Amino acid sequence: MAGILQQTAAQSVASRDSLTIEIVPRVGEKKWTPQATYTNASGEAFSIDKCLFYLSNFAVQSSSGKWFPIRDSYFLANILDSSSLQIRLPILSSDIVNIRFLLGVDSTKNVSGIQSGVLDPARGMFWTWNTGYVMAKMEGSSPVSPMPGKKFTYHVGGFAGEQNVAKFIQLAIDIKSIEQHHILLAADLLSWFNGASSLSIAANPICHVPGKLANQIANNYQFQFRVIQ
């Protein structure tokens, strides 16, 4: 492990020897922009005002097949904060073929008492000790929403049993990206609506509790990530 990782993820921001993952918010093939209007698979127009999601428990795989976990790797990506979309990992080696991370927060952190940093409940991404962290959040508006102000809000959480919406993501890494110590990772926000099943804003404008709808949304958005460089 010594030849691949150094320090902790929290310390890596100041390190010159690190791998940067830059998240690029998209909606389909278009780059996400505030106030822009998009269309989902149900034919509904919508705009996205806010989207945040936790990425944690990073690990990298060498060409030998061995996985190296990166401890203390918890990040909160916010499309309104460009600095949060730059994730720096303390990786020294260029011998990396895959990267893996959890889209959400692991169950241990959900039940370990008050956390700090990006896991601080003051960040607005925590419900209660029974329901835990909001793994991902999207808010916006649509003319078909029956809610006041034509708003829709999806706060997706749940960490226990069948209500666990945390998803492990594994992506192959291009050798050129590793040599440049920089990976561009597209996050397709349209996948919230157009993934394993279609999500209609008119029929489901709100998700604020663990359960069937939260699982449906998580099953959709787990496919949002794609390496584009």
Q: Judge whether residue 177 has pLDDT over 80.
A: no
Instruction: Give me the pLDDT at residue 170, please.
Output: 97
- Apex 112 CA angle, 210 and 123, nearest 5: 65
Kindly list the domain boundaries of the chain, sorted by start residue.
Answer: 9-227
Q: Average pLDDT in the 162-184 region?
A: 88
Instruction: Give me the pLDDT at residue 15, please.
Output: 43
Query: What is the share, in percent, of the chain residues with pLDDT greater than 90?
Result: 75
- Express each pLDDT in 98-108 by its tens digit: 999 999 999 99
Q: Is 33 helix (H, G, I), strand (E, B) or coil?
A: coil
Instruction: Give me the pLDDT at residue 5, please.
Output: 55
Confidence at 14, pLDDT banded by 50, 70, 90: very low
Instruction: Give me the pLDDT at residue 25, please.
Output: 97
8: its two tokens: 């902790």
Residue 151: what residue type?
K
Buried (b) or exposed (e) across 127-140, using 16+ Cβ within 10 A?
beeebbbbbbbbeb
CA 97, distance to chain mean position in Å, is 21
Confidence at 174, pLDDT banded by 50, 70, 90: confident
- Express each pLDDT in 36-55 by its tens digit: 999 999 999 999 999 999 99
Which residue, among 188, 199, 225, 229, has the nearest Cα to 30 in the 3D structure? 188
CA distance 7 to 27: 35
Q: Judge whether residue 10 has pLDDT over 60.
A: no
Instruction: Give me the pLDDT at residue 181, please.
Output: 83
Q: Judge whether residue 16 has pLDDT over 70.
A: no
CA 135, distance to chain mean position in Å, is 8
